[in-house]
Amino acid sequence: MPEESETEVVRQSTLLYLAELKKLGFQVGECKIALKTIKEQDWAQDWKKSFEPIFVTDHIVVIPSWEQTQFPGKTVIRIKPGTAFGTGDHATTQLCIRALQRFVQLGDRIVDVGCGSGILCIAAVKFGASYALGLDIDQDAVENARENLALNGVEGSVEIRQATLSRGLSRKRFHLAVANLDRREIIESFDRIQMLLKSRGVLIFSGILKQEEKNMRDFFTKKHLRQIEATSQEQWICFAAKK
Ligand SMILES: C[S@@+](CC[C@H](N)C(=O)[O-])C[C@H]1O[C@@H](n2cnc3c(N)ncnc32)[C@H](O)[C@@H]1O
């Protein structure tokens, strides 16, 4: 709450909220409301402390924009933590980065559907792609992604657009498409993703829960796709398939 909030209003609405929870059947128990002023400066520093370098593999490290430590011999991806998804800590992002490292070939053109912070586009270029197109419907994500391109010196090879998939998106087809969305969105967007891909192009799909694995495999069969890999981390699964 901002410091200038009316404390009595905050107190009353909190009590009201708890009463509503009780009505819904939650065990709220005895409650005491305490108010404490927190210095904004401390808060900003504490927030930074939770962003440590993340080793996605022994050789790939994702670091926050302010990190000073050097990582010689490693592939370093610098990300400004913002509101966009893709700071590198999530299993679905890490699965995609590892898959990209295995499947991106020198000179490839790749498209990232739902690019968030732009982390996957940046990774793809660092692994040898000559061009990456990142699409996101969220304006904050697009702004954050563009900042991250500059932080990594890849502005010349990556383009970020506030858009979703559409037929006229690109005149040239892509060697690889990556989508870290969710099963429903992947299935919904599949035909448009496929249209952008060269024959024998690679598809990387993340954001799928382990319990959705069979459903995804059946979908690949229906679409005549050849699954080439399935990797997992925590409750998530990432598929790579070929057209
Ligand atoms: C789970 S995040 C993935 C971010 C990043 N690619 C990563 O792997 O960390 C999904 C992103 O997709 C975007 N998104 C969701 N549906 C989309 C769609 N139909 N077209 C484009 N972007 C979409 C969201 O705004 C969000 O930024």
- C-alpha separations of 151 from 9, 96, 124, 230 in Å: 43, 21, 15, 32
Q: Minimum mean pLDDT among 16-25, 61-70, 86-95: which range?
A: 16-25
- Residue 31: band (very low, low, confident or very high) from pLDDT cuts 50, 70, 90: confident
52-61, pLDDT tens digit by residue?
A: 999 999 999 9
Over 80: is that where the pLDDT of 132 sits?
yes
Residue among 146, 181, 182 whose CB has most ligand 1 atoms within 8 A, to mutate:
181
Residue with CA at minimum distance from ligand 1 atom 14: 114
Nearest alpha-carbon partner for 158 in 147, 171, 167: 147
Distance CA 109, CA 175 (A): 5
Does residue 182 have its Cβ closer than 6 Å to ligand 1?
no
Contact by Cβ (8 Å): 121, 158 = yes
Does residue 114 have its Cβ closer than 6 Å to ligand 1?
yes
Average pLDDT over residues 180-206: 95
Task: Give me ligand 1 centre to Cα 217, in Å.
Answer: 22
Over 90: is that where the pLDDT of 99 sits?
yes
State pTM to two decimals: 0.84
Structural domains in the chain? 1-40 (no CATH), 46-242 (3.40.50.150)
